Every structure is written in C-alpha cells, then in structure tokens.
Amino acid sequence: MRIGIFDSGIGGLSVLNEAYHRFPDQEYIFYADTRHVPYGTKSENEILHFVDEIVQFLITKNVDAIVIACNTATSVAVAAMREKYSLPILGMEPAVKPAVEKNGDEDKRILVMATPVTIREKKLAKLLMRVDVRHKADLLEMPELVCFAEREEYDSDSVRDYVRQRFMTVNATDEKYSSLVLGCTHFNYFKPMYREILGDKVQLIDGNYGTIRHLGEVLDITMAKEGDSGLIFNTPQDIVVTFKTTYYESGDEITDNIRLSKYLRMHNRLEFVRNFH
C-alpha cells in the first residue's frame, strides 16, 4: 500500500516514524508544508485551503490512504476532507482518552498541550465532553513551541525558559498532574525536557500509536510488534530506500542528500525520544 502522511512541518515525522516501526514494508509519501508552517497561529480558512491542496497533491500520487499527521489541521479540516474525497483520511487528536484511563480514580489532573487553533476548535471541546467526564483536563496553549521545533532547538535556554514559563501558568508539577498529553505532533521532540522539568512521575502521552494502529485497521494490514531495539538510520538513503519513502516540502520532492540529512537527523531524534513515556 502507498500511504500519504502530511503535516505543516517536521511534527508529522513522529507519526511516520511510528509507521516505520509498525508497518516497515509499506510505501510512504511524506509531505511537510514548510512554506506555511506554523499552522497553529493561522486562520481556519487558510488552514483549510492548505490542507485541501495537500490532499489533492497526495491523491495525484496515487496514495491508498492519507494521514493528517497534525492535530491542528485535523481539528479544522478532517471533516471537510472526508466529505469531499472518497479515500480513507485519518487524523490526529490529543490522546486525552488514554490519559483519562491511566489516571483512573486518582485525584490528579491531566495537562493537555496544543496549538492555539486546536485549543479553540470545537473538535477538542467535543472530545473532552465525551471522554473527560470527571473534568480532569486542563488545556495549555503553546503557540511558540512549533517554531522552536522547526529550528531544531530542543534543548536551548530559551526553549527551556519558554516551556517553564508556560508550565508555571498552570502550576504544573508532578503532584498536580498524572500526565501530559502532547496534542501537537511537533511537541514530541521535547520529551526529555518535559521529563526534566516535571519529573519522572508524569506520563508523557502522544497520539501516534493510536493513529497508526487505526491506519492498520482501515487498510487491513498487520502491525509489527515493538522491537527490542530502535531503528538505526545512518545515512539519508536508510530512510529513503529502506522505508520506501519520498519526502516533499510544499510540493518539491527532496532528493539531495544535504536536505535529506535533515530528515535523517529528525528520525534519529525521534528514535531517541521514543523511550520517554
């Protein structure tokens, strides 16, 4: 099968990376809308327009299914895209349900981080109404974090100060919160920092596994078990050839090793952060 996965930028690679682990034999087209990143501070109309263009582009590449590897784009556009096109279109949503289930009867709360658009869209309100019946979730906008990720700035003093300040606005500690839900795919790159700031007791929960498992069900393909060791990417060709992937940035195919090495770095970072739960 050929699977199209897209995001505004590098966040969607965390979903692609999960797909590599679970469906190593499929073929992938990854599309980052680098010309328009970030989506999370743009208008709904703009986002809808970008998403529609990308979906049309991926359809011309004969994909069997599309994964919108972006919570923001999903919130705004997944319903409209499903109405307009007939192929399976999957989206992301903040993994509040597993966080509520893990929290159980504890008195602790759940912190859901996302972009401003995801937080103000009705889709999240509806999700909370359905799964957060005991009103345990607090929402936290992180408007700048996507740009830190795009600059590959995962560990600088300025990103650390930014995350600390945002956490302080809700008094985030491991006494207060049982889990931190990463409601934006770009937020995966910072897992070690959340752990450092919040301590070991807070669970870090993303929606990647859930989305990829759902993809397997929709396409009726069998999921590989989690291996003992991570994937090892040594050269750009490892990701392109081993995982039969074509990478695009806003419509341009990325073929040169210099630009592909950015993807290599991202996948290696994602392999590293994968062990932080």
Residue type at 143 in one-letter notation: P
Among 39, 50, 177, 247, binds ligand DGL (CB under 6 A): 39
> If binding is defined by CB under 6 A, does position 77 make contact with ligand DGL?
no
> If binding is defined by CB under 6 A, does position 72 make contact with ligand DGL?
yes
- Nearest approach in angstroms of CB 115 to ligand DGL is 5
The two tokens of residue 61 are 């590449």
Among 3, 5, 11, 77, binds ligand DGL (CB under 6 A): 11
Taking the CA atoms of residue 44, residue 50, residue 52 and residue 55 in that order, the dihedral angle to the nearest 10 degrees is -130
The two tokens of residue 65 are 């299914």
Specify the residue, 104 or 112, whose C-beta has the smaller distance to ligand DGL: 112
> If binding is defined by CB under 6 A, does position 7 make contact with ligand DGL?
yes
Q: How many CB atoms lie within 10 A of CB 270?
A: 24
Peptide bond into 38 cis (omega under 30): yes
Specify the residue, 26 or 118, whose C-beta has the smaller distance to ligand DGL: 118
The catalytically annotated residue of 16, 184, 197, 273 is 184
Specify the residue, 75 or 178, whose C-beta has the smaller distance to ligand DGL: 75
- How many CA within 13 A on the CB side of residue 92? 29
- Three-class SS state of 248: strand
In the residue annotation, 184 being an active-site residue is answered as yes
Of 16-24, 53-61, 67-75, 123-131: span binding ligand DGL (CB under 6 A): 67-75
The catalytically annotated residue of 58, 70, 111, 254 is 70
- Nearest approach in angstroms of CB 149 to ligand DGL is 8
Q: Which residues contact 235 (CB under 8 A, 6 or more apart)?
A: 257, 264
Helix (H) or strand (E) holding 263: helix 257-273
> If binding is defined by CB under 6 A, does position 70 make contact with ligand DGL?
yes
> If binding is defined by CB under 6 A, does position 181 make contact with ligand DGL?
no
Number of residues lying near ligand DGL (CB under 6 A): 17
Contact call for residues 202 and 179 (beta carbons, < 8 A)? yes
> If binding is defined by CB under 6 A, does position 184 make contact with ligand DGL?
yes
Contact string 93-132 vs ligand DGL (x = CB under 6 A): ----------------------x--x--------------
In the residue annotation, 147 being an active-site residue is answered as no
Cα 107 to chain center, whole Å? 28
The two tokens of residue 135 are 């009103």
Contact call for residues 145 and 84 (beta carbons, < 8 A)? no
For strands 245-249 and 252-253, give the pairing: antiparallel
List residues near ligand DGL by CB under 6 A. Answer: 7-9, 11, 37-40, 70-72, 115, 118, 146, 184-186
Catalytic residues, which ones? 70, 184
